[in-house]
Structure 1
């Protein structure tokens, strides 16, 4: 009979053989000592929106330090930014009232500048796929102000919100977001292969695993260098497990904050839900071989999953490096986690 490790490797190899996937890097770790790796543990790859967990870690530390109140209006921490018109509730501009917590939970009513519909044509992502370009905080605010706001209190995934949250970290720390991540997260945890990709590191772009969009290999260094904690963190399989364990086990901030993060779940994209800064992936048991999973962590649009199952403790860190087929990493995550938990 095949071992769990052999069965997991077979599942991964099937994904590798799937012509829709890009370079597959995968790691599955279980509490009983199982640790299955496919690919180089130290191969760097863009973790896309999983980067948001690094923003959340910084925000949690700032709260622990008594320098940030999650229930305070975010505008108070961004006094130099004109947020008027970004959030509207019942026809009333509430941009000065939306809280840090609401922005972290994607319930502030902010449009999504990155993949949301823009009144002047294609989405920001669609434009960049045609011709790579970069932007900054001011452009994000301007673009979002021109978009139709969402309904406050209802879940709508917004990269604009995390642009603002990165700005909060920068203003409170008095340094670039990438420097806060280095000082607060990567250096304390010894994450040697993890950093925020910025305009200062454009020359390192070719070190990373290639992201594909269908059959096309993407070169989007300017886009990625613009995304900060929304989607510009580079990491590895080795560092991913270390980070996720620290995030959930108190290695980065007080674990009491997790009780707040992992409540008030609301749907954003079926079957993805959001708490406060943390994503959850759940499917009905009938669709998972009648195994019940509650994967908590975060996903990324380029085929990235960084999750720990709340019920079994199994951790899955991986990427299929494919932007177009977004279901692929979830399918592999469920299958490999099910074997690891068996």
Structure 2
């Protein structure tokens, strides 16, 4: 009871900032003897929420399953699965073409050096504030080709750059291998096996896409959200996101031993704050300057630009999922999970 009250207080401190209008938090442990859920602004554990980049974990699962089945290798050249015309001119750095040297590992670990069409160039993120729009995979690739890569692909180095196109490309690779649209692959490999009845990749007007807050403005962007399929287009609930997160880390979706091979973390661009990136998921070290070196251990999982989050804190066996639904302040979700992890007494 005491710890539940402590968690609730930390949640209320975040929602009391008067920049958050609706939110939900669900915290559990593996055994199930820790379970606390808090809602705000009418949001509750079964309310639909936009996953944004937290849905990258779904794409990661599919890649890992195909890897485990021997249907692809992380060392595979992306060109093995993607048409030459799509790749040509995608990664040209200092006059040299690296497009056909990119590997699946480069994409998964965010070490491709490719720029992010969502934050750079025509800036899709800003466009989201003014209109609902649809963008195809081919258009994402063309937008990326207009931008300058940040470095040559170099998975052995310490460089990483967070870019949505890495996951969009992996989504395309998955579809080519499976011969199915991504929504069917997710259903086959994740939603069905875990019994997720309210988690989906929206494909039409029959699917609910929740509104997103930008400051105090409510935005309805079903076309845009539906476009970012492999990099952040899924809808779920806190309850089902918790089921998935536990499945991700407890071996229900792929052998746990694969996580050890993915645990090579690199610092991302400055705008990503304390986040490091491993093989398809984020790592947030808690013993760092950001916590005045008062924290211990690490958070593993993912967050999204809408304020969604799904993180596991192995040191205290704590799973934390939820949504702050605030496009203007996505960093609030990271601050909240760091506070929860450090403040919870196991």
TM-score (norm 2): 0.91
Q: Provide Cα deviations, 1:130-181, integer angstroms capped at 9, x if missing partner.
A: 1111011110111111111120233111111111100011111111101100
2:59 touches 2:171 (CA, 8 Å); kept in 1? Answer: yes
Q: In structure 2, which of residues 268, 273, 277 is the aligned counterpart of residue 270 of structure 1?
A: 273
1:48 touches 1:231 (CA, 8 Å); kept in 2? Answer: yes
Q: Does 1:14 align with 2:17?
A: no
Number of residue equivalences: 333
Q: What are the within-5 Å matches in structure 2 for residues 254-333 of structure 1?
A: 254-268=255-269, 269-284=272-287, 287-288=290-291, 290-333=294-337
Between the aligned partners of 2:258 and 2:65, the Cα distance in structure 1 is: 10
In the alignment, which residue of structure 1 is the partner of 2:78? 74
2:160 touches 2:266 (CA, 8 Å); kept in 1? Answer: no
Q: Does 1:212 align with 2:213?
A: yes
Deviation at 1:16, TM superposition (A): 2.5
Q: Does 1:161 align with 2:160?
A: no
Between the aligned partners of 2:335 and 2:161, the Cα distance in structure 1 is: 24
Deviation at 1:41, TM superposition (A): 2.1
Shift in alpha-carbon separation, 1:197–1:150, aligned structure 2, 3 A = same
Between the aligned partners of 2:345 and 2:80, the Cα distance in structure 1 is: 46
2:3 touches 2:345 (CA, 8 Å); kept in 1? Answer: no
2:307 touches 2:330 (CA, 8 Å); kept in 1? Answer: yes
Residue 82 of structure 1: SS of its match in structure 2?
Answer: helix
1:30 touches 1:341 (CA, 8 Å); kept in 2? Answer: no
**5+ residue gaps, structure 2:** none
Q: What are the within-5 Å matches in structure 2 for residues 116-265 of structure 1?
A: 116=120, 118=121, 122-152=122-152, 153=154, 154-198=159-203, 200=204, 202-205=205-208, 208=210, 210-265=211-266
Between the aligned partners of 1:318 and 1:81, the Cα distance in structure 2 is: 40
Between the aligned partners of 1:108 and 1:291, the Cα distance in structure 2 is: 31
Deviation at 1:236, TM superposition (A): 1.2
Between the aligned partners of 2:224 and 2:26, the Cα distance in structure 1 is: 27
2:265 touches 2:276 (CA, 8 Å); kept in 1? Answer: no
Greater alpha carbon shift after TM alignment, 225-234 vs 260-269: 260-269
Deviation at 1:80, TM superposition (A): 6.0
Between the aligned partners of 1:125 and 1:267, the Cα distance in structure 2 is: 19
Between the aligned partners of 1:146 and 1:67, the Cα distance in structure 2 is: 32
Shift in alpha-carbon separation, 1:261–1:81, aligned structure 2, 3 A = farther
Shift in alpha-carbon separation, 1:286–1:271, aligned structure 2, 3 A = closer
Deviation at 1:267, TM superposition (A): 2.8
TM-score (norm 1): 0.92
1:86 touches 1:111 (CA, 8 Å); kept in 2? Answer: no
Between the aligned partners of 1:66 and 1:113, the Cα distance in structure 2 is: 31
Q: Provide Cα deviations, 1:34-61, integer angstroms capped at 9, x if missing partner.
A: 1110132211101110111000100111
Deviation at 1:256, TM superposition (A): 2.0
Deviation at 1:283, TM superposition (A): 4.0
Deviation at 1:303, TM superposition (A): 0.7
Q: In structure 2, which of residues 54, 60, 65 is the aligned counterpart of residue 61 of structure 1?
A: 65
Between the aligned partners of 2:278 and 2:225, the Cα distance in structure 1 is: 25
Residue 306 of structure 2: SS of its match in structure 1?
Answer: coil
Residue 276 of structure 2: SS of its match in structure 1?
Answer: strand
Q: Does 1:52 align with 2:56?
A: yes
Residue 102 of structure 1: SS of its match in structure 2?
Answer: helix
Greater alpha carbon shift after TM alignment, 167-176 vs 80-89: 80-89
CA RMSD of aligned residues (A): 1.8
Residue 15 of structure 2: SS of its match in structure 1?
Answer: helix
